[in-house]
Chains A and B, each alone.
Chain A
Amino acid sequence: MRNPDKKGHFGVYGGRYISETLMPAVIELENAYRKWRNDPSFREEFGYYLKEYVGRPTPLYYAERLTKKAAGARIYLKREDLCHTGAHKINNTIGQILLAKRMKKTRVIAETGAGQHGVATATVAAMFGLECEVYMGEDDIRRQSPNVFRMKLLGAKVTPVTSGSRTLKDAMNEALRDWVTNVYNTFYIIGTVAGPHPYPMMVRDFQSVIGSEAKRQIRELTGGFPDMLVACVGGGSNSIGLFHPFLDEPSVKMTGVEAGGLGIKTGRHAASISGGRPGVLHGNKTYLLQDRFGQIIDTHSISAGLDYPGVGPEHAYLHDTGRVDYRVITDAEALEGFKALTVSEGIIPALESSHAVAYAIKAARTMSKDSSIVVCLSGRGDKDLDTVSRAFDYKL
């Protein structure tokens, strides 16, 4: 049985928990997506922009020196950091803006944490000439200032969010408030596999290009499937994109790496599956970081893009069924992963992706030399240089 069901449920997760004002908009979106997803003209246009504008297919790169360092499984990097705008996020924003155009919407809005999704949205809005407003937590604006500047250059309005914890979840609250107010002309481009149905399904479908390419590429390189896939999980869009095309291959193990922050025991982390329990937020039922009264709690991660108290509902389902293994990597470990990849391969990864790199090194050590791991290198690290220099106490 294919997930989700007709009402957007992945097992008990997902669904559509939103205010009535948005129901018609979400139903309209679902109908539009169902109509266009398999339409040849839509597929063709989507494929065209992914190839000519984003630069796909992205390479699957054998990280030889990193492999030597770990002295175990061969490590392959799916180079989403080489996508236009520097992260996988644009795969999804291209797909959604093509829908927005077909739905005759004149304005797009987005929430952003690290700014990667905001930049990817501002980019496609500029390319297609649509008005764009991006909501971003005040704290994230501070730690990701290069991306704020990029969005503004691209013509987007960046609106600081000062409510709550001033991070990604509050940006999403504010984007939902905007959508409810401007629902007639506005398309909400959600950046991850969360939110009300059809978002988790639709974003997954758009991001599945990562896994489809990787599946073909690893076969060409090794003649078979990898033993393990590793990707970081905040909301979980790059990981579901990599995992999804492999779900029916039982020999392929999958690990989603959550942000362990200062350590699960400290309570200062953003690992919703490893440290949370099921609840309802932002339109879907999923694992959430919440107190025992159901209030959402503040999260912490050195990586703004993982700093979110929830996770896509399909991940919640894949966790419960045991198909995907979810682990945590702390801030300190992620920084080690960041350093290891930079010095051994000359690739500066985003702090989000550094979580996956760090876990892959750990896992590779325990695996034989004839096995292989595919890591989703979801984004590049230029945006994080400020954070990293402070963490290492470098003078730039």
Chain B
Amino acid sequence: MEKRPDRITETFKGLSERGEKALVTFITAGDPDIASTKDLIFELERGGADIIELGIPFSDPMADGPTIQAASERALKKGTRLADVLGVVKEVREKSGIPIVLFGYYNPILSYGLEKYARDARRAGVDGTLIVDLPPEEAGELKKELDRRGIELIFLLTPTSDEARIRTVTDKASGFIYFVSVAGVTGARSSLSADIEKYIRKVRRFTTLPLGVGFGISTPEQARDVCRHADGVIVGSAIVNIIAANSGKTRLRKVRDFVSKLKKGTMARQGRETR
């Protein structure tokens, strides 16, 4: 299999050279329906998103708050399957090279077949996979399949992670580290922990991978604050809320407008943290 450009690494590198941070935007595939998902991805990109995180709907999203639970439920009601999610990525790839990370729970992927998933994800043009309920200890089999096809397996670190955990996770991680800003589920929050800076410093002692911070970030101001320390921010529920509250062209426009505001928060020129 020919070597494919490592789009996630290249993206972080390019941004860093321009003094910018990455804006990673999350939507649930199939919410409100699979046809809209492709259009929404293009709007996210037009708005300035650097990386797309695409949620694979699951019946039991234990790590998600009400917003993404509801999105997952809507997508499942429309019959969205993992195969449809891969189909959307393939369509997007005809026009765009934006890095795409699939984000979900293990059972739908296990059920699809690990080898088949890795093969089809590669064919569709998926760049990374993040599975919330698959810690490094249980990820060996999937990682082997993904490694063979050059797809990054992205892991989470959290405010509860001690040095032993950070070591275990950074040992296996590739692409970037998804740092969860709070102990909790996904969902927009009005305030973020003041300790994020401290955690990020701690994590950087163990890895040179870029560090994206997510969970709870919902405003351009929060994005800017977090980007003073992190290499990127991940915004999900705030976008999913806009998708749920609007329809048609208004929905697309409002999503793009919101993303472009967020992007400004990650573009403010700022010196990179010394490691």
**Are B161 and A180 in touch, CB under 8 angstroms?**
no
**Are A24 and B106 in touch, CB under 8 angstroms?**
no
B53 to chain A, nearest CB (A): 16
A107 contacts B by Cβ under 8 Å: no
Question: Chain B residue with minimal CB distance to A293?
Answer: B81
**Which of B76, B135, B137 gathers most chain A CB within 10 Å?**
B135
Contact bitstring A289-313, B, C-beta under 8 A = 1, else 0? 0101111110000000000000000
**Are A18 and B133 in touch, CB under 8 angstroms?**
yes
Residues of A contacting B17 in the complex (Cβ-Cβ under 8 angstroms): none
Residues 193-238 (chain B) with a chain A CB within 8 angstroms? none
**Which of B109, B112, B137, B159 gathers most chain A CB within 10 Å?**
B137
Contact bitstring B55-85, A, C-beta under 8 A = 1, else 0? 0001111110100010001001000011000
In Å, the complex CA distance between A67 and B119 comes to 59
Residues 23-43 (chain B) with a chain A CB within 8 angstroms? none
B137 to chain A, nearest CB (A): 6
Residues of B within 8 A of A (CB-CB), count: 39
A160 contacts B by Cβ under 8 Å: no
**Are B160 and A183 in touch, CB under 8 angstroms?**
yes
Residues of B contacting A183 in the complex (Cβ-Cβ under 8 angstroms): 160, 183
Residues of A within 8 A of B (CB-CB), count: 37
**Are A23 and B165 in touch, CB under 8 angstroms?**
yes
**Are B157 and A20 in touch, CB under 8 angstroms?**
yes
**Are A19 and B107 in touch, CB under 8 angstroms?**
no
**Which of B111, B134, B157, B169 gathers most chain A CB within 10 Å?**
B111
In Å, the complex CA distance between A15 and B111 comes to 17
B75 to chain A, nearest CB (A): 11
Residues of A contacting B133 in the complex (Cβ-Cβ under 8 angstroms): 17-19, 280, 283
**Are B135 and A17 in touch, CB under 8 angstroms?**
yes
Residues 68-116 (chain B) with a chain A CB within 8 angstroms? 69, 73, 76, 81-82, 106-112
B180 contacts A by Cβ under 8 Å: yes
- Which residues of A are interface residues toward B (Cβ below 8 A)? 7, 15-25, 163-164, 169-170, 173, 176-177, 180-184, 279-283, 288, 290, 292-297
Q: Which A-B residue pairs are the 9 nearest by beta carbons?
A: A294-B111, A294-B108, A20-B156, A181-B184, A21-B158, A295-B59, A294-B107, A296-B59, A280-B106
